[in-house]
Chain A
Amino acid sequence: MSWAGKLLRVNLTKGTCKSEPLNMEWAKTYLGSRGLATKYFVDEVDPKVDPLSAENKIIWATGPLTGTMASTGGRFTVVTKGPLTGAIACSNSGGYLGAELKMAGWDMVIFEGKSPKPVYLYIEDDRAELVDAGDLWGKTVWETEPAIKIKHQDPQIRVSCIGRAGENQVYFAAIVNDLHRAAGRSGVGAVMGSKNLKALAVRGTKGVGNIKNPKAFMAAVNAGKAVLAGHAVTGQGLPTYGTQVLMNVINEVGALPTRNHQDVQFEGAKDISAEAMAVERDSDGKSHLVTTQACFACTIACGRISQIDESHFTIENKPQYKNTSGGLEYEAAWALGAANGVNDLEALQYANMICNEDGFDPITFGATVGAVMEMYEMGVLTKEQLGIEAPFGSVKALCHFAEITAQGIGFGKEIALGSARLTAKYGQPDLSMSVKGQEFPAYDGRVIQGIGLAYATSNRGACHLRGYTIASEVLGIPVKTEPADTDGKPELVKAFQDATAAFDSAGLCIFTSFAWTLADVAPQLQAACGDEFTVENLTLIGERIWNMERDFNNRAGFTSKDDKLPKRLMSEAAKTGPGKGSVSGLGKMLPQYYKIRGWDSDGQINADTRKRLGL
């Protein structure tokens, strides 16, 4: 076992909470978390549903290893249809919430319908109830979590909630847990807002005790921990520098998208890097970085805890930003920084803190600001429209936009649309650096060919966490491939996508895969759950999950036409760096990718592929 064996179904329309046994047949074939929740979702929800309607559902799901001592075994996913993309959304988060839910005895929680008034779900082990959230509506993430703990007189409750961005259905609203961990992408927070669901609060005291073979499990866990500790990335790079270790590395390989992907190297990269975070400031002699932070059970601890320079203009008379807080992580530092040409580290952390406080995705937000700045420089948008002068590199504009987005003040209402809707509205759709409506993360897809293909084919829109080929193409893990090569990349992307789906569905963090392969995961799952979870079976499960997600998107109306990259990556060559002169070779890679996926030329899944995967 190690699944809790039951799920909670919450009907928000009727106000009911019901326990159901987990479908164990599905658990064996879709594992848990991402895979299993998506199986439930696609089985129950019409792919054509409006993401912000009562007919959409939203699921919190843990994996079989969530809540165990397996390193990083604290992950959970939120699965729904994403408002930003109209595609399947699956946002993964760490922190402590996922483990707490599992410890309370639940593998997942399925929310359906729409509450007539603001509510939150409170779970205390087997007991679950919807509680009036009238007094919480309008509160930020940072106000909501303590308010719930005080209300129940229990400081040990864990909270997953939306801030004002989710309430106002910002298209890229996040769901934040433990104050600064987030199910961040695709607008999952807006779905909560549309359902009048403010939070999920859990206290779990039952623990996870149904490990199939505890002795073998502990041996496998300890072996896995040793592999992580001994690896250069998970044992040194990430613990020491966090994900920000990448800023200078990616800039050097000429793949750091800068000023809305106009450039591939940022002259200010060093100012916003991990190294910069550790340098003592002239102003107060302290470094920006205060300490590191692990998520539940994680022996890597890539998380960063920072503190803004007290004398920085952004936090003058704003006490809530003077304490330490989560960040900066690489993606946020890039999206808020390089994507806009901003190199003020303190300002980036200020904007990042607002993303956590108000609950929205810094990647889509930052990339949208990049598009706005480009349109400002083109004269498409004016100071009068924006409320501020907004050329690339403007620290003040970045902070201003961060402050007005969640509440939809002034132009904030437009930024809340995300870059695809916003650029289309102002007649410049090619300026949205996105796939399926979701913005790129921090790697240039025309310089690093594999990641470009991974973006184009990602089931939740552009994303680095669906097939992180950077590991191979830049870091040489598990084998080094050349960023400029297109040959072999379809195979590489498929292998990463399938394996990632298995890692996610086990309840583990994908960062373990720098050091682990499925051969390290399999013994842990076999000891915890059952002998059938061999490497081969896990690979097949990953592929099955990938195709299930694809099938949902196809039925929602996506076709091969949506597996594309913006014009800029296809025709504007990289201006500098080792990849100078390159554009994306997507046209060469995509047909081969479809072929090895067992899909037809329109990206539809062939009948024999379905049969092979049991779809």
Chain B
Amino acid sequence: MQKSLLINADKCTGCLQCEMACSYEHYGIFNPSKSRIRVFDFHNTGVKVPYTCTQCDEAWCLKACPVDAISIDLVTGAKVVSEDTCVGCKVCTIACPFGTINYVQDTGKVQKCDLCSGDPACATACPTEAITYVDADWTGLDRMRAWADKLGNQASTN
């Protein structure tokens, strides 16, 4: 069973634990500027949104790569960059409609979320469950349950 990162922006407090966990996992350093997940803080509305790669099935980045540096992890379904192969041409960064694959000056390669081989550090670090790692086929399950509760339990007790 594959899993997906499920992001619930309503629960995000903007603590950036996810960004640090990501940079620590991949680079052994606490450094949001090297994180593959970013939290956007819209201060005029108070809304904070963690954002990262959704692992498209037909991934633009993968298809655009001229040296086949991006492959599919068959276990997790993650689209994974091979640093050994990547030439830093950045075409994938142009191809990605969501901006979630980015160039890293230090390495001369691109980076994107690789789901930490199936145990995403961001989801583990998140203190509010704004980021969870759930059954890829059922990312809507919690919302369905909430509505079912509303229509079933609550309606029947009225």
Residues of A within 8 A of B (CB): 67-69, 71, 96, 103, 156, 179, 204-209, 214, 218, 225, 229, 290-299, 301, 303, 305, 307, 323-325
- Are A297 and B46 closer than 8 Å at their CB atoms? no
What is the bound-complex CA distance between A9 and B27, given in angstroms? 30
- Are A291 and B46 closer than 8 Å at their CB atoms? yes
List of B residues within 8 angstroms of A305 by Cβ: 46
- Are B44 and A324 closer than 8 Å at their CB atoms? yes
What is the bound-complex CA distance between A301 and B46, given in angstroms? 13
What is the bound-complex CA distance between A209 and B23, given in angstroms? 10
Write the chain B residue with the least CB distance to A209.
B29
17 contacts between A and B (CB under 8 A): A68-B30, A69-B17, A103-B32, A207-B34, A208-B30, A209-B29, A218-B24, A225-B127, A291-B47, A292-B13, A293-B14, A294-B15, A297-B15, A297-B16, A301-B15, A307-B46, A323-B45
Q: With A69-B20, A291-B46, A323-B44 known to touch, is A207 a contact of B15 (CB < 8 Å)?
A: no
- Are B34 and A293 closer than 8 Å at their CB atoms? no
- Hey, what's the 0/1 contact readout for B4-18 against A, CB within 8 Å counting as 1? 000000000111110
Q: With A207-B23, A207-B31, A294-B14 known to touch, is A299 a contact of B127 (CB < 8 Å)?
A: yes
Write the nearest CB–CB distance from B103 to chain A, whole angstroms: 13
- Are A205 and B45 closer than 8 Å at their CB atoms? no
List of A residues within 8 angstroms of B31 by Cβ: 103, 205-209
Residue of B15, B34, B125 with most chain A CB atoms under a 10 A cut-off:
B15
- Are B28 and A214 closer than 8 Å at their CB atoms? yes
Write the nearest CB–CB distance from B71 to chain A, whole angstroms: 28
Write the nearest CB–CB distance from A144 to chain B, whole angstroms: 14
List of B residues within 8 angstroms of A292 by Cβ: 13
Given A69-B17, A69-B21, A299-B15, 14 further pairs, Cβ under 8 A: A67-B30, A68-B30, A96-B16, A179-B43, A207-B29, A208-B31, A218-B24, A290-B45, A291-B46, A296-B16, A297-B15, A297-B17, A323-B43, A324-B44
List of B residues within 8 angstroms of A206 by Cβ: 31
Q: With A69-B24, A156-B33, A207-B34 known to touch, is A290 a contact of B13 (CB < 8 Å)?
A: no
List of A residues within 8 angstroms of B33 by Cβ: 103, 156, 204-205, 207
- Are B29 and A208 closer than 8 Å at their CB atoms? yes
What is the bound-complex CA distance between A214 and B25, given in angstroms? 11
- Are A324 and B17 closer than 8 Å at their CB atoms? no
Write the nearest CB–CB distance from B129 to chain A, whole angstroms: 11
Cβ of B82 within 8 Å of any chain A Cβ, yes or no, is no
Cβ of B117 within 8 Å of any chain A Cβ, yes or no, is no
Write the chain B residue with the least CB distance to A103.
B31
Cβ of B128 within 8 Å of any chain A Cβ, yes or no, is yes
List of B residues within 8 angstroms of A156 by Cβ: 33
What is the bound-complex CA distance between A421 and B34, given in angstroms? 50
What is the bound-complex CA distance between A156 and B16, given in angstroms? 14
What is the bound-complex CA distance between A205 and B127, given in angstroms? 24
Q: With A69-B21, A293-B14 known to touch, is A207 a contact of B30 (CB < 8 Å)?
A: yes
